Amino acid sequence: MQIKQILAEAAVGSEITVKGWVRTKRESKNVTFININDGSVIHNIQAVAEAGVLNEETQKLITTGACVAITGTLIESQGSGQKVELQVKSALVYGTADPEKYPLQPKKHSLEFLREIGHLRPRTNTFSAILRVRHTLAYAIHKYFNDNGFFYLHTPIITGSDAEGAGEMFRVTTLDPKNPPLNEDGSVNYKEDFFGRETNLTVSGQLEGELGAMALSKIYTFGPTFRAENSNTARHLAEFWMIEPEVAFYELEDNMALAEDFTKYVIRYALENCYDDLVFLEGRLKEEEKNKKQEERSELALIEKLKFVIDNEYVKLTYTEAIQILLSSKRHKEGKFQYPVAWGIDLQSEHERYLVEKHFKKPVILTNYPKDIKAFYMKLDEVSDDVPGQTVRAMDVLFPGIGEIIGGSQREDNYEKLAQRCQEVGIPIESIWWYLETRQFGTAPHAGFGIGFERLVMFVTGMTNIRDVIPFPRTPKTAEF
Amino acid sequence: MQIKQILAEAAVGSEITVKGWVRTKRESKNVTFININDGSVIHNIQAVAEAGVLNEETQKLITTGACVAITGTLIESQGSGQKVELQVKSALVYGTADPEKYPLQPKKHSLEFLREIGHLRPRTNTFSAILRVRHTLAYAIHKYFNDNGFFYLHTPIITGSDAEGAGEMFRVTTLDPKNPPLNEDGSVNYKEDFFGRETNLTVSGQLEGELGAMALSKIYTFGPTFRAENSNTARHLAEFWMIEPEVAFYELEDNMALAEDFTKYVIRYALENCYDDLVFLEGRLKEEEKNKKQEERSELALIEKLKFVIDNEYVKLTYTEAIQILLSSKRHKEGKFQYPVAWGIDLQSEHERYLVEKHFKKPVILTNYPKDIKAFYMKLDEVSDDVPGQTVRAMDVLFPGIGEIIGGSQREDNYEKLAQRCQEVGIPIESIWWYLETRQFGTAPHAGFGIGFERLVMFVTGMTNIRDVIPFPRTPKTAEF
């Protein structure tokens, strides 16, 4: 029986065996307290061994990090903490953990240090809580889409096309790394590579996702995506997971409604199913922020922040309106933005944060961006006298603290316009003939978006470095474990 | 409202709009029948337009493959087929499909041809049914593990280790493909590569999965895995999805029970949630097998076969017992096996099929294989006089028709034995120091297995080529779409 079950349902007086890892041991003359955790829940169970119950050898081997099976009677707890504890009858040590060598002794460890021992950090309260929340969010995502008639589509990881141009790509190859076969003109002969062409790791499943939506109406992807960008920041990973719903017959407004309903659902699901983990993580964050200046601390405690997102309607406005707000702001007038504000700019993090955290104090959905700062496949807006330039039916969802969490759009469903946009941005039409054909055969309005899973996990757990919300982060010069 | 909902719950007499793709149009003097499908369900809805309701232009544009929105009144069906049909009031054509160019005209297409138009094949009955079943199986997998206290662990896709040696790997790199940086000795200088070392695409998440299980007790992975093997067969993909549960405190017997319970659960879930799709796929398979000789046809119809697996206990026996059965078989004595049978051989497909399909006629779990044909991390058995050589606590689950669907084992949890095995098979201990450390710090008995998702989808859908159960297959010389 796992500790989660024991704490929830085991009857006082019953004999049980707990299997897990020792977090702490405290000995006094008459009694030994052993706190055990098995990862099923944030809480430990305390085993209490009267003097003489365990033989000396066993007693000695039970140290922090050791793996044990302890059998005893579940009794009402004498002390504070849990309602129940285990009165020890016998103990078995599966595996010891030499206190001289085991790095996770019961004291505070920095997140930086824990990253170096990624193979052991899931055994800490912080990382086991993060991983449970991560699991719960992933499950909520599948449940949301399944319950709403979406089909999970596995789009390819190895791709022969670089159509989206979302970023630098990793090459996937089996050619001799030192002496690749060459063509007569001296270029690498990819015809001899495994797939008979140059292939890369996907940056997005969207284009293939659209193929699915043009047949099944509602699909979503949930898989790894990659960026070979040399960004050593707290917000970027070379390998991360992304969710991309795509829906036939959806226009921009439906897409916004989906993004709002979806994010609220999964955050609510985490609150309902990981409450104890979130309480722990809220305490951790408070502790971490004690070292920060008052103005850099979160305005809301973690759980308050999550409830705030669930309970409030997201603000929806156009890019053009957002630029006007920024231009009218005191901060702009006093020249306090680092990057200049003008219609046509790609909004910087400082601009997004001003809108979300200062001006609206709510999640914001920005729409109808200038076409020149967005991808080729986004549907062109009607030209309007009220807008300084050509825009597209794009939307970005901005969250407090982490900025852009979702990017999406209604897609250009008109073949001629899409082919024209390909030409403008330099994508050879023959390289994505299959994508363009969906606009020639039974085209339909459709829309979708992408949400970075790790950004979502950061938001819900309150962690501020993306390397701490994925089990084994991949970043420039790091691929350990 | 999607067609699935309309057929299940819409009230006769209500006015509705159906959005989807035209499968067929049939015109007579007084009336036009338009069959529409939106991918939500295998069934079409029939729209019936009295003469004169649609203008001539619209009527002409409504051809197979066109995308339409048709509004009308839901009435009880006059003909056979569905219980309801749509009495057309108006129609909008979103996108046409030129009958001269659109390849999916209403006639029989070979699976080979459909593979060439992978971007359109989800619009066929066969492939939309497969994709719905695939979704449902994926969802059932997440639901099973979630409901049973497992946490979904995202193990890395890009890996710096080739410890498992499960197969040839794809290299992941950003080095100049033609003139890579070299060391003084002329070898490629991977220190300058993106991750500062040579990296590859993962062949299995197991080793990292074990790290998770040694902290959270019960984890599973579900992600893409890769083999750079030049196998152009109906059973192999270069990119496929795998599920790998790993459980602390499980021994081989618990692992077998999990594999059986898990596979039965997901197959039952598919039967309960995709029954109409499975009926369709059963019919397709029957049709396909008409061209086969009697003895090559399936003994059971598809749904019978699935129920048979659910309703029967899997046969469990050791490798040594299996060899004895094979040696005693008439087929062996008459010299009809292509590959010789003897203790120590890696069982060939013909041997596995004999056991599963001829001898037991049930799913079979084979255990305790010779260590020399299994991976280094499997737990060594006690040596026994009854067994000709050293065995390990391995298990393979064999299914009728497709052979090995699951491979797993109890893991070697003893540090010295594991280090010894690494040495025997030539894995440098320092290359997986993190894996070995779990045996030094709080080691515990644990076990797990891997199940190839596409093999499972093949089994449930009755498809016989693995390229037909994944949306966009990756095989040697093919990475289209």
The model's pLDDT over A21-35, given as tens digits with 9 standing for 90+, comes to 999 999 999 999 999
Find the angle CA(A433)-CA(A436)-CA(A442) to the nearest 5 degrees.
125
The alpha carbon of A406 is separated from its chain's Cα centroid by a whole number of angstroms, namely 11
pLDDT digits (tens, 9 = 90+) for A131-146: 999 999 999 999 999 9
Q: Phi and psi at residue B415, in whole multiples of 5°?
A: -60, -50
CB A40 to CB B214 under 8 A? Answer: no
Closest CA to B434 of B215, B157, B196: B215
Q: Pick from A156, A194, A480: which is nearest to B476 by CB?
A: A194
Cβ proximity of B212 and B151 under 8 Å: yes
Mean pLDDT of chain A: 95
Tell me: do A86 and A172 sit in the same domain.
Answer: no
Question: How many Å lie between the alpha carbon of A262 and the closest alpha carbon of chain B?
Answer: 17
CB A95 to CB B151 under 8 A? Answer: no
Tell me: do A97 and A155 sit in the same domain.
Answer: no
Sheet of A199-201: strands edge to edge?
A158-159, A199-201, A171-173, B171-173, B199-201, B158-159
Tell me: do B271 and B210 sit in the same domain.
Answer: yes
Mean per-residue pLDDT for B204-232? 96
The CATH number of the domain where A31 resides is what?
2.40.50.140
Question: How many Å lie between the alpha carbon of B347 and the closest alpha carbon of chain A?
Answer: 29
pLDDT digits (tens, 9 = 90+) for A399-458: 988 889 999 999 999 999 999 999 999 999 998 999 999 999 999 999 999 999 999 999
Find where tokens 């797993």 sit: B408
Residue that finishes a domain, picked among A107, A138, A156: A107
CB A471 to CB B208 under 8 A? Answer: yes
Q: Which residues of B59-82 are buried (b: 16+ CB within 10 A; e: fewer)?
A: bebbbbbbbbbbbbebeebeeeeb
Find where tokens 């200046």 sit: A293
| pLDDT score for A165 | 63
Q: Is residue A184 part of a domain?
A: no
- Percent over 90 (pLDDT), chain A: 92
CB A479 to CB B197 under 8 A? Answer: yes
Q: Positive or negative CA dihedral for A286, A289, A290, A294?
A: negative
Q: Pick from A39, A212, A226: which is nearest to B122 by CB?
A: A212
| pLDDT score for B165 | 63
Pairing assessment for the beta strands B315-318 and B364-367 based on DSSP bridges: parallel
pLDDT digits (tens, 9 = 90+) for B348-392: 999 999 999 999 999 999 999 999 999 999 999 999 888 999 999
Q: Is residue A345 part of a domain?
A: yes
Tell me: do B100 and B149 sit in the same domain.
Answer: no
243-262 in chain B: CB under 8 A from chain A: 248-249
Residue A112, CA distances (Å) to A117, A463, A468, B401 in order: 9, 13, 9, 51
- Computed on alpha carbons and rounded to an integer, the radius of gyration of chain A in Å comes to 27
Residue that finishes a domain, picked among A107, A134, A151: A107
Tell me: do B132 and B99 sit in the same domain.
Answer: no
Question: How many Å lie between the alpha carbon of A296 and the closest alpha carbon of chain B?
Answer: 32
Domain count, chain A: 2
CA distance A470 to A239: 10
Tell me: do A93 and A146 sit in the same domain.
Answer: no
Q: Is residue A91 part of a domain?
A: yes
Tell me: do B35 and B146 sit in the same domain.
Answer: no
Count of alpha carbons within 13 Å of A285, Cβ hemisphere only? 26
Mean per-residue pLDDT for B234-255? 97
pLDDT digits (tens, 9 = 90+) for B302-346: 999 999 999 999 999 999 999 999 999 999 999 999 999 999 999
Tell me: do A154 and A62 sit in the same domain.
Answer: no
Q: Is residue B118 part of a domain?
A: no
Q: Is residue B409 part of a domain?
A: yes
Q: Does A181 touch chain B (CB under 8 A)?
A: no
Residue that finishes a domain, picked among B80, B107, B134: B107
Find chain A residues with C-beta within 8 A of B20's C-beta: 217
Closest CA to A124 of A98, A97, A104, A110: A104
Question: How many Å lie between the alpha carbon of A451 and the closest alpha carbon of chain B?
Answer: 16
Mean per-residue pLDDT for A363-388? 95
Tell me: do B141 and B241 sit in the same domain.
Answer: yes
Q: Pick from B154, B187, B478: which is nearest to A241 by CB?
A: B154
Side chain identity at B201, as an amino acid letter? L
Q: Does B273 touch chain A (CB under 8 A)?
A: no
For residue B153, pLDDT over 70 is answered with yes
CB B158 to CB A445 under 8 A? Answer: no
CA distance B217 to A38: 6
Strand partners, A35: A24, A46
Closest CA to B347 of B377, B379, B376, B317: B317
Both tokens of residue A443?
């085209």
Q: Pick from B19, B152, B188: which is nearest to A177 by CB?
A: B188
Q: Does A241 touch chain B (CB under 8 A)?
A: yes
| pLDDT score for A163 | 62
Closest CA to A111 of A469, A479, A458, A478: A469
Q: Does B122 touch chain A (CB under 8 A)?
A: yes
Mean per-residue pLDDT for A68-92? 92
Closest CA to B49 of B65, B73, B31: B31
Find chain A residues with C-beta within 8 A of B430's C-beta: none
Number of A–B residue contacts, CB under 8 Å: 333
405-434 in chain A: CB under 8 A from chain B: 413, 434
Pairing assessment for the beta strands A171-173 and A218-226 based on DSSP bridges: unpaired
CB A178 to CB B175 under 8 A? Answer: no
Complete DSSP assignment for B379-393: PBPPP-TTSSS-BBS
CB B223 to CB A224 under 8 A? Answer: yes
Q: Is residue B112 part of a domain?
A: no
Find chain A residues with C-beta within 8 A of B171's C-beta: 172-174, 177
Q: Is residue B478 part of a domain?
A: no
Tally Cβ neighbours within 10 Å of residue A331.
15
For residue A162, pLDDT over 80 is answered with no
Q: Report the residue of chain A nearest B5, measured CA to CA.
A: A149
Side chain identity at A408, as an amino acid letter? G
For residue B78, pLDDT over 90 is answered with no
Q: Report the residue of chain B nearest A125, measured CA to CA.
A: B215
| pLDDT score for B164 | 60
Tell me: do A151 and A15 sit in the same domain.
Answer: no
Q: Report the residue of chain A nearest B67, measured CA to CA.
A: A442
Tell me: do A377 and A270 sit in the same domain.
Answer: yes
CB B195 to CB A474 under 8 A? Answer: yes
| pLDDT score for A142 | 98
For residue A80, pLDDT over 80 is answered with no
Q: Positive or negative CA dihedral for A131, A136, A137, A143?
A: positive
Question: How many Å lie between the alpha carbon of B171 and the closest alpha carbon of chain A?
Answer: 5
Q: Does A40 touch chain B (CB under 8 A)?
A: yes
Q: Which domain holds residue B162?
A: 123-176+190-468
CB B238 to CB A194 under 8 A? Answer: yes
Q: Which residues of A43-55 are buried (b: 16+ CB within 10 A; e: fewer)?
A: bbbbbbbeeebbe
Q: Is residue B481 part of a domain?
A: no
Complete DSSP assignment for A91-140: EEEEE---TTT-S--SS---HHHHHHTTTTGGGSHHHHHHHHHHHHHHHH
**Count of positions (residues) in chain A:** 481
Find chain B residues with C-beta within 8 A of A244's C-beta: none
Mean pLDDT of chain B: 95
Q: Does B389 touch chain A (CB under 8 A)?
A: no
Evaluate whether ipTM surpasses 0.90: yes
CB B216 to CB A40 under 8 A? Answer: yes
Question: How many Å lie between the alpha carbon of A345 and the closest alpha carbon of chain B?
Answer: 31
List the single best residue of B67, B199, B250 to mutate versus A (max A Cβ within 10 A): B67
Q: Is B395 helix (H, G, I), strand (E, B) or coil?
A: strand
Question: How many Å lie between the alpha carbon of B125 and the closest alpha carbon of chain A?
Answer: 10
Tell me: do A267 and A297 sit in the same domain.
Answer: yes
Q: Does B146 touch chain A (CB under 8 A)?
A: yes
Find chain B residues with C-beta within 8 A of A470's C-beta: 154
The CATH number of the domain where A232 resides is what?
3.30.930.10
Question: How many Å lie between the alpha carbon of A310 and the closest alpha carbon of chain B?
Answer: 24
| pLDDT score for A306 | 96
Find chain A residues with C-beta within 8 A of B97's C-beta: 440-442
